Amino acid sequence: MFGLKGDWSLDVKDRYFTLEDYCGAEPRWCTGCGDHGILAAVHRVCRDAQVKPEMTVAVSGIGCSSRLPHYMNTYGFHGLHGRALPVACGIKSRRPDLDVWVATGDGDCFSIGCAHWIHAMRYNMDLTMLVFDNGIYGLTKKQTSPTTPLDVPTNTHPSGALLPPLNPLTVTLGVTNISFVAQIVDWNAPLRHEVIRMAHEHKGTSFVRIIQRCPVYVEAIGKALQDEPARMKLLTHENGVELDDSVKRMFPNNAEHDPSDLAAARALAEDDTALPLGILYHNTDAPRYDQMSSAGLDMSVDEKLSGLNKALDQFAI
């Protein structure tokens, strides 16, 4: 490829990467924060896939969760609040060879970055996108986020959030050209790992909403679910996640769901009696914008020179 060393493709299996090879700085999240577990899962998925650290880029916005790139020993881009997706898409657009992760928060993605969220879903570039949804603005100290549940007090709404929370799943499942939509909770390690692994494997934008505990500001949100697992519904399928019975037993509410069934996925997402966990939707055939935007990368300098001359010829006198 233009500008890159041609022999990278020959650089096979002479290196084996351990978990340490993906670990960056010591995480500075609070004790008990759900982010720790998610980071551990990302490290493991990278290790299991043996991706090269120098070929991996973790992109984030701003927020507690967006600190994730600093805790990776890969390349990283810790940019602006709400803008992780455009940057990630830009990276992927002309460097399809890179493995690109996106870490974003509920404020980062669903509020300030809302436009990018919708459009990135539609672009369906090959990104692994993790939304750390703690239902609150953590970094800026407890303001209402779009997903803060009704009546949860925050610093901007001390007597409780005024409006019902946004449902990120129904929104995402309503976007044209989505290809992978999943939901997990940060505290169930096997489910967490399995879904993030599949999200990473998927070619296209994999949207994973992670219900993430922020014990410092909104302990009640996570606790309510942990105390009452019946409020969640585990989705399994041979084309979705397959989990041990031991894991399934943690969820009294269990269902088979075929992830290729979009209508069923939407119905599950809309059901507010039980939070669906697992893979809601998976489509391997959705068009990928990264495959279109990377056109021309293989052109030689000579071809470009003659192309430019051809362009100039049109205007020549």
Partner 1 sequence: MTKAATASDTKYLFKRHETWWVKVAVPRTLRERLGYDLRRSLETHDLEQARQSRWAVVDEFRARIEQAQEERSDSPARHVSKPVDIDAAEFEKQSGTRLIHEHIVEVVSDSGEGAQKCGQILGLVSGKMGNGVWTVEIIPAEIQPPARERQGASGIRVRMGAKYVTNMGDEADMVVAFNEQVLYSRIMNGAYKKGTVVLLESMWSEDPEDRIRKQYAEALADFREQGLIVHELPIQKECLKIVKDPRKGKNMFVLGMLCRIYHRDIDKAKGEIAKTFRRKSEKVISTNHELFDAGYRFAAENLDYEFEIHSAEEDRLESAIVVNGNTAAGLGVMAAGIDLVAMYPITPATSASHYLADDFHLTGGFVHQAEDEIAAIGFAIGASYAGKTACTITSGPGMALKTEMIGLAVMAEVPLVIIDVQRGGPSTGLPTKVEQGDLLSCLYGMPGDSPKVVLAASTISECFHFVILARKLAESFRTPVIMLTDANLATGVQPIERPAVTEEWFAPPVDQSAWDKEVSPYDWDETTGLSDRPIPGMRGGEYILTGLAHNRDSKIAYDTASNQEGMDMRSRKLAALAETMRPPEIHGDPAGDLLLVSWGSTVGAIEEAVDLARAEGRQVSSLHLRFLSPLEPGLKEIFSGFKKVLTIELNYSDDPDAPLINAETRRYSQLALVLRAHTLMDVDCWSVVPGHPLSPRTIGEVIDARIDRIEGAEACSA
Contact footprint for ligand TPP (CB under 6 A) = 62-65, 81, 105-108, 132, 134, 136-140, 145
274 binds ligand SF4 (CB under 6 A): no
Stretch that binds partner 1, among 32-40, 80-88, 199-207, 260-268 (CB under 8 A): 80-88
From partner 1, ligand SF4, Mg ion, none, interface partner of 217 (C-beta below 5 to 8 A by class): ligand SF4
CA distances from 258 to 22, 170, 177, 197 (A): 33, 17, 18, 18
Tell me the DSSP string of 162-193. SSPPP-HHHHHHTSTT--EEEEEETT-HHHHH
Q: Comparing C-alpha atoms, which of 129, 15, 156 is closest to residue 61?
A: 129
Give me the least distance between CB of 82 and Mg ion, in Å please.
Answer: 12
Please identify, using beta-carbon distances, which residue of 140 and 260 lies nearer to partner 1.
Answer: 140
| Separation between Cα atoms, residue 278 and residue 289, nearest integer Å | 26
How many other C-beta atoms lie within 10 A of the C-beta of residue 215? 16
Please identify, using beta-carbon distances, which residue of 14 and 238 lies nearer to partner 1.
Answer: 14
Please identify, using beta-carbon distances, which residue of 263 and 311 lies nearer to partner 1.
Answer: 311
Does residue 61 contact residue 104 with C-beta atoms inside 8 Å? Answer: yes
Give me the least distance between CB of 269 and ligand TPP, in Å please.
Answer: 20
10 binds partner 1 (CB under 8 A): no
Q: Cα–Cα–Cα angle for 302, 304, 306, nearest 5°?
A: 70
Give me the least distance between CB of 140 and ligand TPP, in Å please.
Answer: 4
Stretch that binds ligand SF4, among 78-86, 200-208, 213-221, 259-267 (CB under 6 A): 213-221
Instruction: Give me the amino acid identity at 38.
Output: I
117 binds ligand SF4 (CB under 6 A): no
Phi, psi at residue 229, to the nearest 5°? -60, -15
104 binds ligand SF4 (CB under 6 A): no
Q: Comparing C-alpha atoms, which of 169, 130, 125, 168 is closest to residue 286?
A: 125
Give me the least distance between CB of 136 and Mg ion, in Å please.
Answer: 5
147 binds ligand SF4 (CB under 6 A): no
Q: Comparing C-alpha atoms, which of 48, 51, 60 is closest to residue 97?
A: 51
Task: Report how far apart the first and last C-alpha atoms of the chain are (Å, whole number).
Answer: 36
* Residue from 27, 79, 149, 190 binding partner 1 (CB under 8 A): 79
Strands, E assignment, 221-274:
232-236, 254-256
Q: Measured in whole angstroms, how far is the alpha carbon of residue 86 from the centre of its chain? A: 14
Stretch that binds Mg ion, among 134-142, 223-231, 245-253, 260-268 (CB under 5 A): 134-142
Binding mask of the shown chain, residues 22 to 61, with x at each position contacting partner 1 by CB under 8 A: --xx--------------------------xxxxxxxx--
| Separation between Cα atoms, residue 242 and residue 248, nearest integer Å | 9
Where does this chain bind partner 1 (CB under 8 A)?
A: 2-5, 8, 24-25, 52-59, 69-70, 72-80, 83, 85-95, 97-98, 115-116, 118-119, 292-299, 301, 303-305, 307-312, 314-317
